[in-house]
Structure 1
Amino acid sequence: MAVTSSALAFGELTDVVAFLIEIDKLKNIQRRTKVLNTQRQENTAEHSWHFAVAAMTLTPYADDGVDMTRVTQMALIHDIVEIDAGDVLVYDLAGREAVHALEAKAAQRLFGLLPAPQRRQFHELWLEYEARETPSARFALMIDRLMPVLMNLHNQGQSWVENGITLDQVLTRNAFIAEVYPALWTHLSQHLQQAQQRGWLK
């Protein structure tokens, strides 16, 4: 789109830069899962990148109604709110419920840094992911739930062991995967049973 006003362009670009600098803080939000074969906690920016690449990789397995470009965009912005709200363990249901209002407020502040068209676009994308009603949002959530499971299955159940997570918790919290991708859930369930046998899950 052609820029017709240099003053307007400068103002909007300043807002974009302010947003980009602000979201650098996501690199400081630590998750419970450690980077494989290290003792370093994964940060949320790393998780978002991994999620986005997973979305690209899983594109052939998505139904026709899933917009994979949109899924990848959701992957990149879905956890930006953790800059203000922090990361809450997915199995801490009370904590997840308590942080919801903080996340909504964070979305207003962080996306509000952007110029109006992008502010609306980013916020609507985040709200779509949170509502989990569209095929794209549901596929995105499936991948978001999948990634920590895969990490733990390849890290001797690190965050499961450290947080005392049970097999029933993992099966219950991640059963949504079966709704979106039943064959994958069948495969994962077998590995989760083996993880319990190895002592990685209670």
Structure 2
Amino acid sequence: MPSENLSKQIAFIKEIDKLKYIQRKTRLLNSERQENDAEHSWHLAVMAIILAEHANHAVDMLKVVKMVLIHDLVEIDAGDTFIYDSQKNHSNSEAERIAAERIFGLLPEEQAAELIDIWEEFEAGKTEEAKFARSMDRLEPLLQNTSNNGGTWKEFDVPYEKVYEKKKVIKEGSDRLWNFAEQLLDESVEKGILKKDAPQ
């Protein structure tokens, strides 16, 4: 018989398989297929490892990787909220808090507490690790949309100003990556795949 801890850990591992079924609005690079949350989290983890040298400050890379791998697990219960949704606020909602307690609560108490703390740290975005992890979270969809002729920006008629406002979080984790992101945004406007609102 497996130990109580192992039984809880296996239950958690089985539960998070559901993340593979949570569809995001963004599509894979140069593709029509929508990305799922598990693919998104994996991509962010690799990005964080590869782009670590561009962080504004030295970070605990293991913590960053943990953050990006678990940050969307709450969407198993709460669902994915489109970042440009004008009806629903893309922030740490009560539904996500309840989801975090249920999903991480499947684990042994000490592991559950650690992962809830890491999830909360990412959501708060105050530590250097959280800032860098969040910069990855905002950079990946930018790469996707620029590779897909505007992608969700065009599909949902999202203006440059709204995209810029959401993407500037990248600067908090990495000035270099923000400079790169700004260039991509400017090029997207020039190509006509991202529209600026007309001046009032």
TM-score (norm 1): 0.90
Aligned to 1:169: 162
Conserved in 2, the CA contact under 8 Å of 1:29 and 1:86? yes
Q: CA–CA distance in 2 between the matches of 1:168 and 1:94?
A: 18
Conserved in 2, the CA contact under 8 Å of 1:71 and 1:136? yes
Aligned to 1:54: 47
TM-score (norm 2): 0.91
Aligned with 1:42: secondary structure?
A: strand
Q: Kindly, what percent of the aligned residue pairs are identical?
A: 44
- Counterpart amino acid of residue 31 in structure 2: T
Q: Tell me: CA distance 1:98–1:178, structure 2 relative to 1, closer, same or farther (3 Å).
A: closer
Q: CA–CA distance in 2 between the matches of 1:59 and 1:176?
A: 16
Aligned to 1:88: 81
Structure 1 unmatched ranges of 5 or more: 1-6
Conserved in 1, the CA contact under 8 Å of 2:26 and 2:144? yes
Match of 1:146 among 127, 131, 139: 139
Aligned length: 195
- Counterpart amino acid of residue 71 in structure 2: H
Deviations 1:11-48 (A, max 9, x none): 11111111111111100000011122332110000000
Structure 2 matches for 1:91-102, cutoff 5 A?
Answer: 91-92=84-85, 94-97=87-90, 100-102=93-95
Structure 2 unmatched ranges of 5 or more: 196-200
Q: CA–CA distance in 2 between the matches of 1:111 and 1:40?
A: 29
Aligned to 1:128: 121
1:196 aligns with 2:175: no
Higher RCO by CA contacts (8 Å cutoff, separation 6 or greater): 2
- Counterpart amino acid of residue 103 in structure 1: E
The CA RMSD over aligned residues, in Å, is: 1.7
Q: Tell me: CA distance 1:66–1:51, structure 2 relative to 1, closer, same or farther (3 Å).
A: same
Aligned with 1:33: secondary structure?
A: strand
Structure 2 matches for 1:9-24, cutoff 5 A?
Answer: 10-24=3-17
Kindly name which structure, 1 or 2, has the bigger radius of gyration based on alpha carbons.
Answer: 1
Aligned with 2:113: secondary structure?
A: helix
